C-alpha cells in the first residue's frame, strides 16, 4: 500500500511508527514530511505516478461535527488538499481541543496566495469581513505566501471555501468542507473516539 501522509505535530507521532508498517511507499503532503519520511528510509512516491491512494492520514487545526476542517497552520494546505482529494479515504487525527461548533472562530482560515496578488486578495478578504494577516518569513512549497484570515463567517463552510477560491490570486484555502474527512479519530481524556462520515 502507498500511504498519503500529512503534515504537522499530530502526524509527526504517526510518522515515527511507520517503519513498523509494511508500505510500498508514501506520498507526502509537504517537503517537511517528505524529509522526515526519507530519513526513516520510507520510499517517497510522486502522486502523479501513485494513482488513487487508499488512505490519507493527517491532522487538523479545527474540526466540526460534520468532519469539515480548517487546515494549513503548517502552511501545507494546497498539497494537503491535493493528496486528500486523490485518496479514497481521508482519516483525520486530532485531540479534543480541536473540536469546535463553528469553524473559524478561534483559528484563522489560512489562504495561500500568489505573491503578486497578496495586497489585492487582502483587500477582497477585508470586503468579506475578514481580517487578513500576512504570515511573515514564510513561503509555501510552491513559492507562495499565506494570509491567515480572522473573522470570516464560516457558518457555511462549503460556500465560503468556493467563494475564497474564486478570488483571483488565491491558490487554495484551508477550509476542507467540499472534501471533508471520512473518518475522525479524536483523542480525549476518555480515550479515542471514532466518528465516521
CB 34 within 8 A of CB 44: yes
Catalytic residue among 34, 62, 80, 161: 80
Residue listed under C-alpha cell 479515504: 89
Q: What gap in Å lies between CA 75 and CA 53, rounded to an integer?
A: 22
34 in catalytic set? no
For residue 53, give Cα distances in angstroms to 28, 45, 150, 180. Answer: 12, 11, 33, 16
**3-state class percentages of the chain: helix first, strand second, coil last, to nearest 5:** 30, 30, 40
Burial 51-85 (b: 16+ CB within 10 A, else e): eebebbbbbbbbbbeebbbbbbbbbbbbbbbbbbe
Q: What gap in Å lies between CA 82 and CA 166, rounded to an integer?
A: 17
Give the bridge partners for 192, in sequence order. 187
Catalytic residues: 80
Amino acid at each position: 500500500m502507498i500511504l498519503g501522509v500529512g503534515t504537522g505535530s499530530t502526524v509527526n507521532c504517526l510518522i515515527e511508527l511507520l517503519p513498523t508498517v509494511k508500505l510500498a511507499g508514501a506520498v507526502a503532503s509537504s517537503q517537511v514530511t517528505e524529509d522526515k519520511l526519507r530519513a526513516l528510509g520510507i520510499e517517497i512516491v510522486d502522486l502523479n505516478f501513485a494513482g488513487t491512494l487508499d488512505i490519507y492520514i493527517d491532522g487538523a487545526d479545527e474540526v466540526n461535527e460534520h468532519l469539515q476542517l480548517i487546515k494549513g497552520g503548517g502552511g501545507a494546505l494546497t498539497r494537503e488538499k491535493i493528496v486528500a482529494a486523490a485518496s479514497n479515504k481521508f482519516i483525520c487525527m486530532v485531540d479534543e481541543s480541536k473540536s469546535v461548533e463553528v469553524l473559524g472562530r478561534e483559528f484563522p482560515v489560512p489562504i495561500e496566495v500568489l505573491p503578486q496578488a497578496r495586497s489585492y486578495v487582502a483587500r477582497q478578504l477585508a470586503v468579506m469581513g475578514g481580517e487578513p494577516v500576512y504570515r511573515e518569513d514564510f513561503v509555501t512549497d510552491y513559492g507562495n505566501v499565506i494570509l491567515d484570515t480572522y473573522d470570516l463567517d464560516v457558518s457555511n463552510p462549503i460556500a465560503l471555501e468556493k467563494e475564497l477560491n474564486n478570488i483571483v490570486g488565491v491558490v487554495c484555502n484551508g477550509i476542507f468542507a467540499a472534501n471533508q474527512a471520512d473518518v475522525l479519530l479524536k483523542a480525549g481524556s476518555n480515550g479515542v473516539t471514532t466518528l465516521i462520515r
